[in-house]
Amino acid sequence: MTADLAVIGLGHVGLPLARAACAAGLTTVGYDVSDAVVAGLNRGRSHVGGVGDGDVAAMRAAGFRATSDATAPGSADTVVICVPTGLGAGGTPDLSAVRDASRTVARCLRPGMLVVLESTSHPGTTEEVVRPILEGGSGLRAGADFHLAYSPERIDPGNRHFGLHNTPKVVSGCTPLCAKHAVAFYGRFVRTLVVSRGTREAEMAKLLENAYRYVNIALVDEVALYCDRTGIDVWDVLHCAGTKPFGFAPFRPGAGVGGHCIPVDPRYLAARAEAEGFSFRMLAAAHEVVARMPEHVVGRAVGILDELGRPPETATVVLLGVAYKPDVADARESPAGPVASGLRDRGATVRYHDPHVPEFTVDGVPLPREKSLPAALAKADLAILLQDHSCYDTTTVTRAECALLDTRGKASGPRVTLL
């Protein structure tokens, strides 16, 4: 069976891509090393926020199938690699999934095939990591026998205004002809394409996008720390600054940063730069600030409990929202983890409430979950609003008998303490 597209890695990037391709009429096969993911999708069940079971049903009706058969990508005209690029021991970049996926493609690479890497990585990954594996494993040459391109993903979970079809997509190729084939492919279901000069520029653009957010989040976090020390209302500062219609982009402080991109991607850029003898001092400073925020939240929580006359060892704290962003089910790299760990280290009983996250593990131990928000608040001495899910209306959280530490700047009242 032939296919227009094979997507390798059916996670938060690969599955939305497969959905968009199916909706555009492309026959699509999805490959994943997880048998559970494959079985779930073939039963019509989604494991990715933003892609519902109904979406999977529509994909299957359009001919989509998931498989763990490593030969399946060989049947497609285009293969897109969407595997995770996380951090290994010591916070160093881990490209093992990209290498494994590239070896899988190399074993079934055919002349004329287009291979695209979408996984976020440091500049040079496409040319220096993926290309040698593909060429060495197949005997074919990129730019002559097959086409190799890089197009960074811009998936924003929970964003109701911008999806894959209407978010401008950066596209690059190892040669102008490679880029032309990539443009022809993505042009079938993406409205606006931006052609980069080369793969390194496209790879760097993706890292810059997330480093920009990382540095600016760190800036407002440090402003929040300063305002806390000097008695300045940081939320009023942000409101006033945000009224400027030019020259200021609003960011909000919080307990830290989470998700697969913001805490991870700047580390890829910094590590690559260090290997080339360059130091990104701005990223190092931002990392230092952001890493302090969970402990700052823990310190504020302990201070509130002391004011209540409740030592941490006798107190119950409930965390409201452990996902990394509002109204999503993704808790990867969430600052809720180190906050919970810090509170437990001080002897507090810690529980959590999050309608989107059914299980949350901290330091290898599952954190007890409260399913009812009113019941969670009734049991707690202190609630900490970590994520402003839409279900956390200010009336409910401020009328509770427990104290509230609000890290999102949403609530007010006599029992509320703002970050």
Q: What is the DSSP string of 247-307?
A: S-------S---SSSTTTHHHHHHHHHHHTT---HHHHHHHHHHHHHHHHHHHHHHHHHHH
Burial of 34 (0-12, 13-18, 19+ CB in 10 A): middle
Which residue stretches of the chain have pLDDT < 50?
Answer: none
Could you confirm whether 261 is annotated as catalytic?
Answer: yes
CA atoms within 13 A on the CB side of 304: 27
Rg (CA), the chain: 23
Write down the domain spans for the chain. Answer: 3-197, 236-418
| Per-residue pLDDT at 281 | 94
| Per-residue pLDDT at 80 | 98
| Per-residue pLDDT at 275 | 93
Q: Is-same-fold flag (3-197; 236-418)?
A: yes
Is residue 105 within 8 A of residue 126, CB to CB? The reply is no
- Which 3 state secondary structure label does DSSP give 83? coil
**List of residues 6+ apart from 198 with CB closer than 8 A:** 172, 173, 174
- The active-site residue out of 108, 261, 391, 402 is 261
| Per-residue pLDDT at 160 | 86
| Per-residue pLDDT at 165 | 94
- Which 3 state secondary structure label does DSSP give 371? coil
| Per-residue pLDDT at 295 | 97
The β-bridge relationship of strands 28-31 and 3-8 is parallel
pTM of the model: 0.91
Q: What is the rounded end-to-end Cα distance, in angstroms, of the chain?
A: 57
| Per-residue pLDDT at 99 | 98
Q: Find, among 123, 102, 116, the residue nearest to 203 by Cα.
A: 123
The residue assigned the tokens 């049903």 is 57
Local structure of residue 368 (DSSP, 8 states): P
| Per-residue pLDDT at 74 | 95
| Per-residue pLDDT at 88 | 86
Is residue 324 within 8 A of residue 389, CB to CB? The reply is no
Exposed e or buried b for every residue in 247-256, given b needs 16+ CB within 10 A? eeeebbbbbb
Axis crossing angle, helix 96-107 with helix 131-138, rounded to the nearest 10: 30
Question: Which contacts of 184-188 are long-range, i.e. CB under 8 A and separated by 24 or more positions?
Answer: 185/5, 185/78, 185/114, 185/116, 186/151, 188/21, 188/24, 188/25, 188/26
Q: Architecture of 236-418 per CATH?
A: 3-Layer(aba) Sandwich (3.40)
CB atoms within 10 A of CB 416: 17
- Which 3 state secondary structure label does DSSP give 129? helix
Phi, psi of 75 (to 5 degrees): -85, -5
**CATH among 3.40.50.720, 3.90.45.10, 3.30.70.2610, 3.40.1280.10 for 3-197:** 3.40.50.720
Quick one: tokens of 246? 């030019």
Is residue 97 within 8 A of residue 84, CB to CB? The reply is yes
